[in-house]
Amino acid sequence: MYIHREGKKAIVAISLILIVVDVITAFIPVEFIFKLIIPAPFIVLFLLIPWFFRIPSRTPLIDESIVVAPADGKVVVIEKINETEYFKDERIQVSIFMSPLNVHQNTYPIGGTITYTKYHKGDYLVAWHPKSSQLNERCSIVIKDAKGTEIMVKQIAGAVARRICNYSKPGSLVNQCDELGFIKFGSRVDVILPVSAKILCDLNQVSRNKLTKIAQLS
């Protein structure tokens, strides 16, 4: 296990805050107990950051015919939709809800070429809201595999998660299970699949990025 680079920035920031708070409280004429209470929330946050930004060591599932989960969490939606942003036809949507306690790294469910990326400003509805895929702040990424099949991954911000980090660049070649991005403090990731895909996961199933089989492509 290691700490994601986004977490290292947070550790530096909270460390500086702790130093400032310690210096200030050292000169405040209050009881000793209050000198311990004042920095306590920052100490708790400092201890939690490594957990929030952890990246566990995993041997990824590499199979060009399999769509692998791009996120840790729970499968909350499996349904047919009319996709209007890119494909503009009927697709199957599989949505994974990421709680604040899940690993927040997102990975590519298939390997191939990035054919489309777009960031959308939006609202911050709770991630399980039916309209969050269309109304929330989000980032859409389309990957085309060697056979020409395209799938879309949507990183969606929620009521708590207010920072989407996306590292995809149009035209670049990516490997299955490479890092796609990061959503700070959870939220939701949608996978938009062809209707011909065979779904291999179940509703309410716990998913693990790089490991859980989401679907099989024809």
Positive or negative: CA dihedral 162, 163, 168, 174 = negative
Left (φ > 0), alpha (ψ -120 to 50) or beta: where does 216 sit?
A: beta
Closest C-alpha to 74, from 2, 141, 127: 127
Q: Is 127 exposed, middle or buried (0-12, 13-18, 19+ CB in 10 A)?
A: buried
Q: Which residues are catalytic?
A: 187
Q: How far apart are CA 39 and CA 37, in angstroms?
A: 6
The encoded tokens of residue 77 equal 């939606």
Between helix 40-52 and helix 5-26 the angle, nearest 10°, is: 170
Q: In which residue are the tokens 């590292």 written?
A: 167
